[in-house]
Structure formats: structure tokens, C-alpha cells
Amino acid sequence: MTKETGKQPVHKKHVARLEREKQQTRLIIYSFFGILGAVVLLLFYGWLDASYLQLNRPVAKVGDVEILLKDFEPRVRLRRQQLIDNYGQYLQYQQFFGMDFSSQLQTIETQLNVPSLVGQSVLDEMINEEIIRQETAKRGITVSEEELNAEIESSYGYFPNGTPTATVTITPFDIPTEPKELFQFITQTPEPTSTLQATEEAGSTSTAEPQPTATATLEPTATATTGPTSTPLPTATPFTREGYDGVISDAVENLSKYGLGDDYYLKFFEIKLLTEKLKEQITADVQPFETQVRARHILVADEQAALDIIARLEAGEDFAELARTLSTDTGSAVQGGDLGWFGRNQMVPEFEEATYALENPGDFTLVPVQSQFGYHIIQLMAKLERPISQSDFDLAKNVAFQKWLNTARDEEYVVETFDVWQARVPNEPNFITAATEAASVGQTAQAEQLSTLEAANGTPAP
């Protein structure tokens, strides 16, 4: 301590120690802010990645056009809501009309419980829509603003120029006479299940050709039409312009709940019209008649039993009698195996292919035809060019268009899919969220019904 100041002298070691402490303090502070900054950056990047970068990643690519995750996710949510709505409708029909829709209900439950099933279906639909857009652009097919507005207005039953008068087009179909060679196979008169059928074209009832009892094993194989899956239903209530505008506004607002923008509503109807126009071109050569066959069959459970029956037929035994005594298809067995007339797309593929391959009446398959129902021995009774109903004509066009679309996807258009969607496929809405929303708007009865579905159907909580 000095006499002048009365303070302890500062040594160089002390100064050095203080300087080191300051440096350590600064280092700690810098490190803290550096770590804090890194955390903030990571959080920001995570938010940016989830909210923007990932959403702009493609889930599929058609040619040079990418289908983005941000467009895919809202479509999945909308599809899930449509499935829930369909589920509720089936429940109502089942409860109030006693109709059995258990298989449809089970199918919907499976789809909702396995999000990837809905995701794959939506992805395929979006790919098909993009193919249709590119193909119509190539062919010069367009939809005008007037056509688009008219389609939307008619879908909701709004006709500003007055309700159009319905026109009925009747296609004159001649019922062909049965070929003479057919009667050598008919040993008894088939018992028809119904002699009346509705004719859509005429809007009346007409007498149809008697057909043998339909079998439960050979059900028609329906082909779904590609395109939008849920068209807004028209209403019978007359609209004012203000009322119509209000309905459109409500529809757009409802779609926004699933993340769909205002333009989706227009795109929905645009792709619908483009699909219809393209289908008309693709199916222009499809005619309202086709080569149909009349056949009979014997169905057994195993291949050896089928081979034994073929040997007995080759030895000269009667086909109809063997069908009555041996066929496990009880519906047709009583008719000697007779299935009546049928055309394309009405039987399971294996059965159809084998039947049409037979050339002459009386020919039967020398090799058992295996399908999901067992083993068939098929005999051709007649083959004839016959007119088809309007519903079958529409089905034929749908099948032809779907075949073209599948071929275009596999061969003409370069389609790539990316697995990023599988980790991001939404699992909402579900029965629980639907019940919550129903309760929030005061729909107590519906909420109680939906809230029981998790326990009854094993629906996972969100």
C-alpha cells in the first residue's frame, strides 16, 4: 500500500487474471447467443420446411408438370369427409329402410382407418386429371367461361333463363330372335327372375326378354369412371341470383376448411367438362350393340373334379344333367347351368375371356377355367350381335375410356410418383373430428352417433 493513495498496488498478474475473466464472460455470452440463434434458426427452418418447403415438394410428376404436396393434402381431407358423409347416408338407409349396407360400411371404415388407401386413391385421381388436362390441350379441347358457368348453375338447379325442358331420346333397339342352333341346348324353359325392367331412355316400363336365374357367383364387374368423385347435388328449390350466389359462397367457404383455395371450385367443374368432352372423342367408335354370348357352366371346387367332368362330357354325357347334379352354383344349376345372354364386362375376366374364345355352339372348355369362385367348365350355346341397353352402352364407353387412360399413363405419358406423400397423408377428418364439429354446431344427435363409432369400429383417435 502506498502512502500517497492508501491503495494496494495493481500487479500485472492481477490485471491478466481480470482480462481472462472478461474474455471468458464474453465467450460464454457469445456462446449462449450463438446457441440461442442456432435454436431459433432450426425452429424457423423446421417451420419453413413443414409450412412451405415440404408442401412445395412434388408427390407425382406427369411429363414436366409436378403435382405438389400442398395440393395433395387438401384433396385427401376432402375425400375423407366425403367418405364420412357416405358412411352417414348408408347408416340412415340401413336404419330407416332396413337395407343391408354392411359391406359398404366396412369398406369405408377400412379406408378411413388406413390413411394410405385414401392417399393412393387421391394420388391416382390427380395423376389421371393431369393426363386429361394435357391430352385435351393437345387435342385443342377447351371449356369456355359460358360452359363452365352453365355447368355450375345447372348442378345446383339454378336456371336464370328458365328451367329447361327435358328431352327424351329413344334409341330404336330391335330385339333379335333367338338363333335356331340355341334350341338344341335348351332342354327346359328357363325360369326368369323378372320379366319387367325399367327403360331409362323412355322413362317407362317395357317387357324384357326372359332370362334364367342370375347367379351369385358371376357378378358383373363394374368399372368406375375416372374423374371427380363427388359432384354437388342439384336442388329442386328455385333460386334467385342472390340465393345462388350465397350457395356458391358457402360452398367455397366449406372447401376452405380442408385447405382448398377459391380456384378449386372452378377447377372441379372444369376437369369434369374436359373429361366428358375427351371421353366423347375417345369412345366415338363404341357402338350401342355388341357380340353377346349365351353360355352355360358347371362350377366345382377343385381342378380334379373339373377334369373328371370334362372327361365325362367328352364321353358323351349330357352337359345340362351334369350341371344339375354336380354344379355348386345352385342359381344356374337348376337351369342346366344356363346363364342366359351376357356381353362384355358382365362376368369375371377369366370367365369372360374363356367364353368368348369358344367359337362354335356346342364347344366347351377342355381345360378348367379357374376364377375366384372355383373351377368352371363352360359351354357356348350361341353367339350373336345384339343391341345393348343404355346403361350397358354407358358402361362400355366408361370401360373404353378407362382402358385408354390406363394405356396413356403406362405408355404415352411419363408418370413419376414420389414417396414423400406417405409420411404426410392426413388422417383427418375422422369420426371423432366429425363428431366434434357436429357438436359445435348444435347437432347433438349426430354427435352422439358419431362419437360411438370409435369404440364400435376401432377408429383411431386423431
- Distance CA(384)–CA(389), nearest Å, equals 15
Q: Which of 182, 211, 188, 218 is nearest to 362 (CA)?
A: 182
Amino acid at the residue 134:
Q
Q: What is the pLDDT along the chain (462 residues), one digit of tens a residue?
A: 555 555 555 566 666 777 777 777 878 887 777 787 777 777 765 655 565 657 789 999 999 999 999 999 999 999 999 999 999 999 999 888 888 899 999 999 999 999 999 999 999 999 999 999 999 999 999 999 999 999 999 988 888 877 776 555 545 455 556 666 565 666 444 443 332 233 333 333 333 333 333 333 444 343 334 444 444 444 445 568 888 889 889 988 999 999 998 889 899 999 999 999 999 999 999 999 989 999 999 999 999 999 999 999 999 999 999 999 999 999 999 999 999 999 888 899 999 999 999 999 999 999 999 999 999 999 999 999 988 889 889 999 999 999 999 999 999 999 999 999 999 999 999 988 877 776 665 554 454 555 555 555 554 443
Fold of 180-221+288-386: Chitinase A; domain 3 (3.10.50)
- Is the separation of the CB atoms in 412 and 441 below 8 Å? no
DSSP-assigned letters across all residues of 251-304 = HHHHHHTTT--HHHHHHHHHHHHHHHHHHHHHTTT--SEEEEEEEEEEEESSHH
φ/ψ bin of 227: left (φ > 0), alpha (ψ from -120 to 50), beta (otherwise): left
What is the number of other CB atoms lying within 10 angstroms of the CB of residue 268?
A: 21
Sign of the C-alpha dihedral computed for residues 403, 404, 408 and 412 taken in this order: positive
How many other C-beta atoms are found inside a 10 Å radius of the C-beta of residue 87?
A: 23
Are the C-beta atoms of 250 and 73 separated by less than 8 Å? no
Per-residue confidence (pLDDT) for residue 399, from 0 to 100:
92
Give the integer Cα–Cα distance in Å for 435 and 443: 9
**What is the predicted pLDDT for the residue at 317?**
96
Name the DSSP class of 195. Answer: S
Cut 0.85: pTM above it: no
The pLDDT, as a whole number, for residue 18 is 72
3-state secondary structure of 197: strand
